[in-house]
């Protein structure tokens, strides 16, 4: 008996390939949506950890993490917490994230060693500070036009731009309220800092952190479940891997700056024309004063009670501001915003 071998014709092969292509086209959106859902859940977990670390800081120190001195300083373990700490909120929560070793870099050392420690700190990336939908926790270019940190605070041992070509960045910012202050006055050496009195007036600030802040949970009179603590910051997607001046250009451990603080609502104190909307990451756009993120439809926030909520980008500007102001007497239930 003769054996007959059948083979697939070219037409049949093309039909099969077409069917496979259609199936892949149908499946890919579902796969991408599942991946984004996983990344979003991880991002929410990061904010949860940062929020709880901030509350542990408040329990231990008596106030929430301070904003620090300003953009030209980085964290220093010999300056404690609160108004005396030059580094920002991200630096101050390190001991409450099981990152005490990073917090203590340079502790008790001489100025030359502290300069090296300041550079090492600026180059230390930590997963919990990054949203996986945006970028990985690694080093990114430091804006060469930005001031490197003044640490160790000795004039002839300052960190130079060439000493710090790359830095660790983060995707989250503390709530600065509705009031954006002007240019901050800063000391340029530690000797200056010991007698410095020209700090900017922060009495109008109504957020959680600002320059040299020491905000207590008790100061959140609108209620901890009605007030932002931390949220995702708006960044231009075209600049995720480079830098965006001035809101995503320096180390995440620097003091109070647009890199680590954002605002919401209408700035009725200084300029009612200033509006800080909730804006999704948009190619070609950089809203360095505003909250926003890479997730479709909503931005993630940790509230002052430690909970995490998704806030729609369609939120009314006034309500967004009410959630940022800790003491305006306008309580908003975040459950009503889902």
Write down the pLDDT at residue 105.
97
Write the pLDDT tens digit of every residue in 176-226.
999 998 777 889 888 888 889 999 999 999 999 999 999 999 999 999 999
Percent of the chain with pLDDT over 70: 94
pLDDT at 23 over 80: no
Residue 240's pLDDT is what?
96
Phi, psi dihedrals of residue 90, rounded to the nearest 5°:
-65, -35
The whole-number average pLDDT for the span 13-35 is 74
Q: What is the mean pLDDT of the chain?
A: 91
How would residue 125 be classed by pLDDT, with cut points 50, 70 and 90?
very high
Question: Residue ranges of the domains in the chain?
Answer: 40-337
């Amino acid at each position: 008996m003769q054996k007959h071998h059948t083979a697939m014709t070219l037409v049949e092969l093309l039909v099969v390939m077409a069917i496979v292509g259609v199936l892949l086209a149908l499946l890919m959106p579902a796969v991408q949506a599942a991946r984004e859902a996983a990344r979003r859940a991880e991002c929410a977990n990061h904010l949860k950890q940062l929020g709880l670390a901030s509350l542990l800081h408040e329990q231990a120190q008596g106030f929430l993490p301070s904003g620090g001195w300003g953009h030209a300083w980085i964290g220093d373990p010999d300056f404690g917490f609160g108004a005396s700490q030059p580094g920002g909120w991200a630096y101050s929560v390190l001991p409450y994230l099981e990152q005490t070793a990073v917090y203590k870099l340079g502790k008790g050392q001489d100025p030359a060693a502290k300069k090296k420690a300041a550079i090492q700190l600026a180059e230390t990336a930590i997963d919990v500070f990054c949203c996986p939908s945006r970028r990985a926790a690694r080093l990114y270019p430091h804006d060469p036009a930005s001031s490197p940190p003044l640490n160790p605070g000795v004039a002839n041992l300052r960190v130079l731009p060439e000493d710090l070509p790359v830095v660790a960045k983060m995707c989250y910012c503390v709530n600065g309220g509705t009031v954006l202050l002007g240019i901050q006055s800063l000391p340029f050496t530690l000797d200056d800092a010991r007698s410095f009195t020209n700090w900017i007036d922060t009495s109008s600030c109504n957020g959680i952190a600002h320059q040299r802040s020491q905000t207590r949970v008790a100061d959140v009179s609108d209620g901890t479940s009605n007030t932002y603590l931390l949220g995702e910051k708006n960044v231009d997607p075209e600049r995720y891997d480079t830098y965006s001046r001035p809101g995503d250009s320096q180390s995440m451990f620097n003091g109070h700056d647009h890199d680590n603080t954002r605002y919401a609502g209408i700035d009725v104190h200084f300029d009612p024309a200033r509006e800080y909307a909730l804006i999704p990451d948009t190619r070609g756009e950089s809203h360095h004063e505003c909250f926003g993120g890479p997730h479709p439809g909503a931005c993630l926030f940790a509230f002052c009670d430690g909970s995490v909520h998704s806030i729609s980008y369609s939120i009314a500007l006034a309500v967004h501001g009410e959630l940022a102001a800790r003491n305006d007497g306008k309580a908003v239930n975040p459950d009503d915003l889902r």
